Amino acid sequence: MSERIPMTPAGYQKMLAEFKHVREVLRPQVVRDIEEAREHGDISENAEFEDAKERQAHIEGRVRELEYRLALSEVVDVTKMVPSNTVVFGTTVDLEDEDSEERFTYRIVGLEEANVRAGQISYSSPIGRALLGRRVDDEVRFETPKGTRTVIIKAVLYK
């Protein structure tokens, strides 16, 4: 049996919207493009036909991937949990770098949702794995490409 894929409610809705768009907009458009390219005659030397068939293969692959991920998704809504000081999937964590005293905030999310620039890190990233299960005031060490980094958990928010 396959493993469940954790997602936030927003991540699930975003993936569902992409699935609908690919299936209901992109798929029919590429079918029309293939039909139009066929009308231009010999398909053996028709670059438009080859391009449309290649796009169709890509779209069908994405549809299958999204169907799989949606079927295995497990939506985790931290707003419905009893807040504690423990870092779990979906929580927002305020951190302070032990060396520089720089403060920053991350939300622990699924792989598809991760975007470090937007403050969203995957639960399976080095820092995500190091933070899960930890509590406010814990000192957390993790490896980065630049070496070991230590942060202190200042707050855990269930929002």
Task: Compare 98 and 1 and report the one with higher pLDDT.
Answer: 98
pLDDT at 25: 97
At 28, the amino acid letter reads P
CATH number at residue 127: 3.10.50.30
Shared domain for 67 and 86, answered yes or no, is no
Domain end (from 75, 108, 128): 75
Q: Give residue-wise pLDDT tens across range 105-153.
A: 999 999 989 999 999 999 999 999 999 999 999 999 999 888 999 999 9
Which long-range CB contacts under 8 A does 143-152 form with residues at least 24 apart?
149/97, 150/97, 150/98, 150/99, 151/95, 151/96, 151/97, 151/98, 151/127, 152/95, 152/96, 152/98
Shared domain for 60 and 94, answered yes or no, is no
